[in-house]
Amino acid sequence: MKKILVVFGTRPEAIKMAPLVKELYQHSEFDTKVCVTAQHREMLDQVLAFFKIIPDYDLGLMKANQTLNQLSARILTAIDEVLVDFEPDLVLVHGDTSTSSMVALASFHRGIKVGHVEAGLRTYNKRAPFPEEINRQITGRLADVHFAPTKQSAQNLINEGVNSKSVYITGNTVIDALLWGIHHVNEHREDIQEIKEFIKKNQKLIVVTGHRRENFGDKFYEFCSALKELADRKDVQLIYPVHLNPNVQKVVYDTLGNHSNILLIAPLDYEAFIWLLNQSYLIITDSGGVQEEAPSLKKPVLVTRDVTERQEAVAQGTVKLVGTDKNKILKEAFILLDNQETYQNMIGNKNPYGDGTASKQIAKALKSL
């Protein structure tokens, strides 16, 4: 029996690893255990509850105002005890977090093989996204097996010298999570009822998220200014689940508070958030996961970033990069609001991130190792 340790620490990782964990549990060939670093705490717990996953190890490393260096050091130290206790044959990490890179490093130090889920995404700009780009590259160098979501991400790895025999193209597990999640949403929840009361059927709903570090400051003010002008249209409503970071909270509430067409709400758990995405007409976001999820829901996305490691979505036409330039955001949003032909073309494209079978493909690959 192959001993597999699945490690993650943030809400996005939990969402994307949950369907894989559920899949691995179904295979008697694997002794699968789950470790959470709890780099995020409350948001992580919400996802675990929704997918009904109980961690075997919970490191509880979230701490107010800790630096990236402090967090990284704590992950390295704490995960070492888990590796000694469980003695896994393979450790699975995900994506681009401090948890991923530090757990991969700790596993490497112990001579334990590492599998990297959602491998090979690149901007080749080490400052954007920060620190995720370098976390992803570090994990990629340490990993022994790479589960790339697309041909392009696989090619990135091969171009960097990774043996092609260790790279599997699987699609992205986020689609697995989304398709499962949409069918398990409880629409009678109190928070969803409150949102339903705000939504008007004769207006087009724009769902907004924004929290990236590289956009803090003047860029974020300009982004919010664009949102305010959008909300001035009588045919538009905006719902913005506002990230808890003070750099986000102050600007958003100062700029967008008390607007009748804007609903500012606390961050939603995964269940309520995917329900909300499904109600939208248009999504404006700097999130990586949303760029992957939205095409499966047939929703166009304007990405408020200068670069994205999800180039496939840009090439396929399911998302459009607009940065934080107010004029560009407004121009592209107005086109999608007013031009149905452009709108239909954007949502008619196939999702480049898969069909919801990534977890099954990863499990199959793991059996062959």
User: What integer is the mean pLDDT of 252-272?
Assistant: 94
Q: Is 116 a catalytic residue?
A: no
Q: Is 40 a catalytic residue?
A: no
pLDDT at 295: 93
Q: Cα–Cα distance between 167 and 146 in angstroms, integer? A: 5
Q: Looking at the predicted structure, is the pLDDT value of residue 212 above 80?
A: no
Q: Do domains 2-172+355-368 and 190-347 have the same CATH topology?
A: yes
Q: How sure is the predictor about 129, in pLDDT bands with cuts at 50, 70 and 90?
A: confident
Q: Looking at the predicted structure, is the pLDDT value of residue 117 above 90?
A: yes
pLDDT at 155: 98
pTM of full prediction above 0.95? no
pLDDT at 198: 96
Which run of H or E residues covers position 343? helix 340-347
pLDDT tens, position by position, 229-252: 999 999 999 999 998 888 788 888
Domain 2-172+355-368 annotated CATH 3.40.50.620 = no
- DSSP annotation string for 189-220: SHHHHHHHHH--TTSEEEEE----GGGTTHHH
Q: Looking at the predicted structure, is the pLDDT value of residue 215 above 80?
A: no
Q: Cα–Cα distance between 195 and 267 in angstroms, integer? A: 13
Q: Which of 27, 41, 213, 233 is catalytic?
A: 213
For the stretch 216-221, contacts whose Cβ atoms lie closer than 8 Å and that sit 24 or more positions apart, written own/partner, are 216/247, 216/248, 219/324, 220/247, 220/248, 220/251, 220/324, 221/251, 221/255
Domain spans of the chain, in order of start = 2-172+355-368, 190-347
Q: What is the mean pLDDT of the chain?
A: 94
Q: How sure is the predictor about 142, in pLDDT bands with cuts at 50, 70 and 90?
A: very high
User: What integer is the mean pLDDT of 80-92?
Assistant: 98
Q: Which of 13, 23, 96, 292 is catalytic?
A: 96
User: What integer is the mean pLDDT of 312-331?
Assistant: 94
Q: Looking at the predicted structure, is the pLDDT value of residue 355 above 80?
A: yes
pLDDT at 217: 78
pLDDT tens, position by position, 39-79: 878 889 999 999 999 999 999 998 888 999 999 999 999 99
Which homologous superfamily does the CATH classification assign to the domain defined by 190-347?
Glycogen Phosphorylase B; (3.40.50.2000)
Q: Which of 41, 141, 243, 259 is catalytic?
A: 243
Q: Is 243 a catalytic residue?
A: yes
Residue 366, SS3 per DSSP: helix
Residue 137 contacts residue 152 (beta carbons within 8 Å): no
Residue 358 contacts residue 22 (beta carbons within 8 Å): no
Q: Which of 13, 23, 132, 332 is catalytic?
A: 132
Q: Is 211 a catalytic residue?
A: yes
Q: Which of 40, 211, 305, 310 is catalytic?
A: 211
Q: Which of 118, 293, 309, 332 is catalytic?
A: 118
